[in-house]
Structure 1
Amino acid sequence: MNVLDIKVLRDLWSMRVQVLSIAMLVAAGVAVFVMSVSNYRALVGAMEGHYRYERFADLFAGMTRAPLVIANRLREIDGIGIVEPRVAKPVRIVREDTNLPISGRIISLPAEGQPLLNRLHLVQGRWPDPLHPEEVIINAAYAEARAVRMGESIDVVLNGRLQDFRVVGSALSPEFVFATRSAVPLPDDRNYVVLWAAEDAVASAFDMKGAFNDVAMTLAPKASLAPVLDEVDRLLAPYGEPEPTIAAISPRTAFLKTSWRSRRH
């Protein structure tokens, strides 16, 4: 050991408190980094598992009105997986206990069972009876904010006509992690509601029998996104500009929907 080595050791020993403090600080930083990475991976895994289990769609498109046969043509596009056409329209809610405007969106449900995509998780209540088209499910956040009871009636303005529905359940949806009006960045659970009703009831109210104005889709494994979007745009172009819709919030597909919606507008 030469003189310089001895000097370094003596200097380190004389500053042992400072050196120990720095070492502990570095160790704490490494520990926090490792913990943060582990938590991030766990959250990403949980998110992907949730969206996979709830069959969250990869792509959404809106149009004015398209015949159901177009859904079959969408299914034939190379790179498209599941295609689920539906009727989705903005509505207004009338309540006697408030003067504030309450907006909403009503979405059609298949005649039987869960949708193929964007499956609902019932928080309370039950699934609507196909024999009772007046029954609806509402999003759980609005139900909690407004203390809506199961069996309570809800007055909805559909296409200019007031219609009375009966709430039979509240649900969570991967499509509406939080629900808000277009161009409003923050949720307003007391003044915005999402309703899911029988397909026949929604289609009849908006003259959509045999047609749809909204579609949810998944991408096939290893599909190239750009050609798929171009083909979907080409196919839907004759059926009108998309109406303002509520974008589903998903870190997995937010960029895809944001960039595509801006193109379609």
Structure 2
Amino acid sequence: MSRLERITASTRAGWHSFLRRRTAVFFTFFFPAILVVIFGVLVGTQPTDGGLFSEPAGWYVAGYIGVVVLFTPLSRVGSEVARHREGSQFEKLATTPLRRWEWLLAQTLVNTVVIGLATLLLVGLLFAGTSLSVPLSAELLLVVPFIVVGVALFCAIGAILGSLVDSRDGVVAASNGLALPLLFLSETFVPAEMLPEWLPLELSPLTYFSRGVRTVTHEQVPAGGAIFDWWPPTSPVLNLAVLSVLALVTFVVAAVLLPQTD
């Protein structure tokens, strides 16, 4: 069996495994829906009143997408690794030609499809239930690689947590403990102006996702600038490049840490 066939078979198995868990399917798509209903419809935005949610509705699109890209891969892949460890599945995988990085790549591909569908649902609900208006431009296509790279990055981080934490409950707790601070300290729902100046936002990988996606969905490239400019820090290409490097390095680390036996 060739490498491509191994990855394809593992991806197919991962996809069917996801579909068999109806509770997981429900909450994967229910989560974006309830997110939009609570923050987009019930809370809404108040551009003139100051405080939280004081920016225009379009400013928060990057945050909404970032929530799905952050939480779902962390919890799903982390739990999947922990489940494989508890069931000694990695020992069985070690007797097959499938390598650990191929298994992780297959899990990443499954999550990319799942989160892509969840993102489409989320954006559709935003258009239907809020006053969201996104200017149509070729720059919007960059949202796709941002989502793909972001999913790969947080899948890898989830795999690292699953490899290091000794139980599925521990993985869920560790995932939430990591995701919640990142969510509010990465320019997702809280502008940098409202955070302390000494706070190193650049240490959070979600910051690069938020800045890049926000530029192409709301702020747009400044007048006189070009989509492939490497500066200023809001440049979509600069942020995508940084995110890609982080994803590659983290993926390699995660593949090395995946256990062969337990």
TM-score band, normalised by shorter chain = under 0.3
Question: What is the TM-score normalised by the length of structure 2?
Answer: 0.25
- Looking at secondary structure, tell me which structure has more strand per residue: 1
Q: Give the number of the structure whose alpha-carbon radius of gyration is greater.
A: 1
Question: What is the TM-score normalised by the length of structure 1?
Answer: 0.25
- Looking at secondary structure, tell me which structure has more helix per residue: 2
